[in-house]
């Protein structure tokens, strides 16, 4: 499995070659991302403003809430990541107009890599380095964790019962994350798909 340890991140198969891959991994691109932090005593007002504008209430527990074209990923009390498709409109300006004085908005677009992970051994792969219990009794569709993967800080959430996960990591840490994922998935076989634009 030495090839996994030196595998360059690009579409293709690595690790075990026979049979269906245990992990299927795909980068999601062309998304806008912003950090939204409620100002002191303004969390309820920020939630209300988002609900009126986007049809989604930023969650107060570690979950994800999706509206018409924006999702809010819990990042801590009164703190969310807003995620939506990339457009010509400034994401920060759009959110700033909605939240006004209730929250501070900071554009994070381009600073993170977003991956989607699926396959029959996806939990086994993640269990090798993610420090939370991903068993369905503990972590279900819609749940979010601000956790670590191989000692790297990540956001991880589940988007389908199969299961399917999305993982968000700081771009400068991606090479380290990829080396860990490649080594962890090699025994099961890993199929890297060509990148595809983000959708909710």
**DSSP, res 128:** T
CATH (residue range 31-107):
3.30.70.1400
pLDDT of residue 5: 47
Instruction: Please report the pLDDT score of residue 1 as a whole number.
Output: 41
Location of each CATH 3.30.70.1400 domain in the chain:
31-107
- Beta-carbon contacts of 8 under 8 Å, excluding residues fewer than 6 positions away, are none
**Residue 7 contacts residue 14 (beta carbons within 8 Å):** yes
DSSP single-letter state for residue 21: -
**pLDDT score, position 94:** 95
Res 6 pLDDT > 90: no
Question: Once rounded to an integer, what is the mean pLDDT over residues 57-75?
Answer: 96
CB-CB neighbours of 5 under 10 Å: 11
What superfamily in CATH does domain 2-29+111-197 come from?
Probable tRNA modification gtpase trme; domain 1 (3.30.1360.120)
Residues 74-129 pLDDT 10s:
999 999 999 999 999 999 999 999 999 999 999 999 999 999 999 999 999 999 99
Contact status, residue 75 vs residue 58, Cβ threshold 8 Å = no
Give percent of the chain above pLDDT 90: 94
Distance CA 164, CA 187 (A): 20
- In sequence order, the β-bridge partners of residue 27 are 115
pLDDT at 155 > cutoff 50 = yes
No. of H helices and E strands in the chain?
5, 13
Size of the chain, expressed as the number of residues it contains? 200
pLDDT (mean) for 53-71:
95
Give CATH 3.30.1360.120 domain extents, the chain: 2-29+111-197
Indicate the average pLDDT of the chain: 94
Asked if residue 165 lies in contact with residue 148, where contact means CB atoms within 8 angstroms, the answer is: no
Give the pLDDT score at 68: 86
Q: Judge whether residue 52 has pLDDT over 50.
A: yes
Q: Report percent pLDDT > 70 for the chain.
A: 96
């Amino acid at each position: 499995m030495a090839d996994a340890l030196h595998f360059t991140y690009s579409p293709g198969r690595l690790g075990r070659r026979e049979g269906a891959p245990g992990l299927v991994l795909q980068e999601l691109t062309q998304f806008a991302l912003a950090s939204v932090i409620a100002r002191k005593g303004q969390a309820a007002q920020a939630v209300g403003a988002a609900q009126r504008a986007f049809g989604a209430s930023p969650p107060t527990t570690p979950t994800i809430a999706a509206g018409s074209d924006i999702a809010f990923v819990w990042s801590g009390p009164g703190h969310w990541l807003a995620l939506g498709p990339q457009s010509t409109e400034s994401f920060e300006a759009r959110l700033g107009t909605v939240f006004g004085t209730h929250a501070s908005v900071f554009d994070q677009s381009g600073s993170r890599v977003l991956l989607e992970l699926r396959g029959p051994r996806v939990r086994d792969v993640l269990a090798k380095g993610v420090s939370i219990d991903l068993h369905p009794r503990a972590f279900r569709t819609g749940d979010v964790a601000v956790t670590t993967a191989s000692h790297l800080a990540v956001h991880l959430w589940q988007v389908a019962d199969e299961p399917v996960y999305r993982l968000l990591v700081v771009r400068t840490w991606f090479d380290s994350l990829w080396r860990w994922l490649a080594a962890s998935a090699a025994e099961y076989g890993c199929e890297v798909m060509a990148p595809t634009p983000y959708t909710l």
